[in-house]
Amino acid sequence: MQPTRDTHATLVDLLDRVLEKGLVLNADLIINVAGIPLLGVNLRAYLAGIETMLKYGIWQDWDEAQRAIAARERKQKREEEQTNAPGLEPERYLLSSLDSKIAEKYSSKEEVKI
Amino acid sequence: MEKVCCAQGEGRYVYGVSAGDKEVRLGAIGIDGSEVYTIPYGDISAIVHDCSTKPYQSTDDEMVRNWVRTHQSVLDATGEQLGVVIPLGFDTILQPRDDATSPDQVVRDWLKLDYARLREVMRKIEGKDEYAVQVSYEPGLIVKQISEQSEEIGKIKEEMATKSPGMTYMYKQKLERAVKAETEQLADEWFNDFYGRIKKHTDDIVVEKTKKLNTGKVMLLNLSCLVSREKVDSLGKELGKINNMDGFSVHFSGPWPPYSFVAKPVVTVKGE
């Protein structure tokens, strides 16, 4: 059996990896932090959409898929509202939406001196 | 070579880190046609393009897909030219410092700080690629097999045949529960069997969450495998055997940069 890199068949594999994985750098150095706080809200919603499309099929049950996306977005928004003051700039927003454990880890670290 | 400096902004979008001690210009192959080049520190280099300090964000799905494909194609191109590449996730942008340090120097300073760790990761992934492996089964076929083979289910069916139509409903439920329990038990056995057989042909392996499929099949295992180039054929053969089993199918994609095996945060050493 040969592995495939056919773009259509492997788009989900690619998105899973490029958007969720890869080397993670110290949060002090970067604007975006890969995986957790790095992705914009829209990208995450987009990912949710992909999963939903897979689950329901791209053309069938489209209403259901739309509803599922909307429900997820609402949930996500609620969670974000709880952890974020409104109107923050993306950079700060991203940092403040850090998983609490990670935030703790990074905040406890000494400032990087180069 | 002429240096395109800072015109596109103070941020540095980092695609990955490769081996190499020279500044290499890879052309306008980056996201939105950006010029991609390497910034070396010692014998390692960051693969970057100049960008603003705002992360890439869009509600346009096709645009996002294209960005992600481009991120990947830059890593492919760099891998071909420079060999081993540590991939970074999408949208990792190094922040300019408040002082007068140039953006390229910020990148070099980062490479210097994390040099030992980056070298260690590079050693781990050198000569290896990542492959995605998913094994799924067709529930209908499996249920049929179980129904034919299981003594318990046979017994329930026999009893059901002698009962009144009113009782049939109850037996139907009983039957469903028995089939479900047997399927779950079998799924555990398959998982362990396949996992063991696949793991033998890999250098490292990560068990990912299974996904719901729209094909009516059920995903049994979802793996990211780090595989030495000389082992890919034997992995493919093993997967071929599983794929040929009745009711099972295997999805096998790659080679990818080893995204799933470099994810441990690079923690800068204190006091350096």
B19 or A87: which leads in pLDDT: B19
Candidate from A29-33, A66-70, B128-132, B258-262 with smallest mean pLDDT = A66-70
Question: Which of A14, A25, A56 shows the shortest C-beta gap to B214?
Answer: A56
| Mutation choice for A interface testing from B109, B212, B253 by most A CBs within 10 A | B253
Q: How far apart are CA B72 and CA B258, in angstroms?
A: 12
How are beta strands B11-19 and B93-94 bridged, if at all?
antiparallel
Residues B216, B121 within the same domain? no
Share of chain B above pLDDT 90, in %: 58
Residue that terminates a domain, selected from B105, B126, B147: B126
Q: Is A35 on the interface with B (CB under 8 A)?
A: yes
The answer to whether B213 contacts A54, with C-beta atoms less than 8 Å apart, is yes
Contact yes or no for B129/B255 (Cβ under 8 A): yes
| pLDDT (average), residues B244-267 | 86
pLDDT of residue B157: 85
CATH number at residue B184: 3.30.70
Would residue B269 count as lying in a domain? no
Q: Is A2 on the interface with B (CB under 8 A)?
A: yes
pLDDT of residue A34: 42
Residue that terminates a domain, selected from B64, B95, B126: B126
Residues 6+ apart with CB under 8 A from B95: A29, A30, A31, B11, B53, B106
Contacts of A1 in chain B (CB under 8 A): 236-237, 239-240, 243, 250, 252
Residues B157, B228 within the same domain? yes
Candidate from A39-43, B29-33, B106-110 with smallest mean pLDDT = A39-43
The answer to whether B55 contacts A18, with C-beta atoms less than 8 Å apart, is no
The answer to whether A32 contacts B92, with C-beta atoms less than 8 Å apart, is yes
Contact yes or no for B14/B103 (Cβ under 8 A): no
Would residue B85 count as lying in a domain? yes
Residues B117, B48 within the same domain? yes
Chain B residue with CA closest to A110: the answer is B270
B200 or A25: which leads in pLDDT: B200
**pLDDT at residue B21 above 80?**
yes
Give the angle B128-B260-B225 at the CA atoms, nearest 5°. Answer: 55
The answer to whether B89 contacts A18, with C-beta atoms less than 8 Å apart, is yes
A76 or B9: which leads in pLDDT: B9
Question: Which of A16, A41, A46 shows the shortest C-beta gap to B61?
Answer: A46
Q: Is A62 on the interface with B (CB under 8 A)?
A: no
| Mutation choice for A interface testing from B59, B93, B268 by most A CBs within 10 A | B268
Would residue B136 count as lying in a domain? yes
Q: How far apart are CA B60 and CA B234, in angstroms?
A: 41
Number of domains within chain B: 2
User: Both tokens of residue B209?
Assistant: 């969450």
Helix then strand count (H, E) for chain B reads 7, 10
Would residue B6 count as lying in a domain? no
B22 or A98: which leads in pLDDT: B22
Helix residue spans in A38-113 (DSSP H): 41-56, 62-83, 90-96, 100-107
The answer to whether A23 contacts B266, with C-beta atoms less than 8 Å apart, is yes
Residues B257, B144 within the same domain? yes
Helix residue spans in B37-164 (DSSP H): 61-82, 103-113, 115-125, 139-149, 151-162
Contact yes or no for B170/B179 (Cβ under 8 A): no
pTM for the full predicted model: 0.73
Residue B48's pLDDT band (boundaries 50, 70, 90)? Answer: very high
The answer to whether A5 contacts B92, with C-beta atoms less than 8 Å apart, is no
Would residue B228 count as lying in a domain? yes
Which residue range is the domain that position B81 belongs to?
11-126
Contacts of A8 in chain B (CB under 8 A): none
Residues 6+ apart with CB under 8 A from B175: B153, B156, B157, B160
A76–chain B nearest CA distance, Å = 16
Residues B26, B141 within the same domain? no
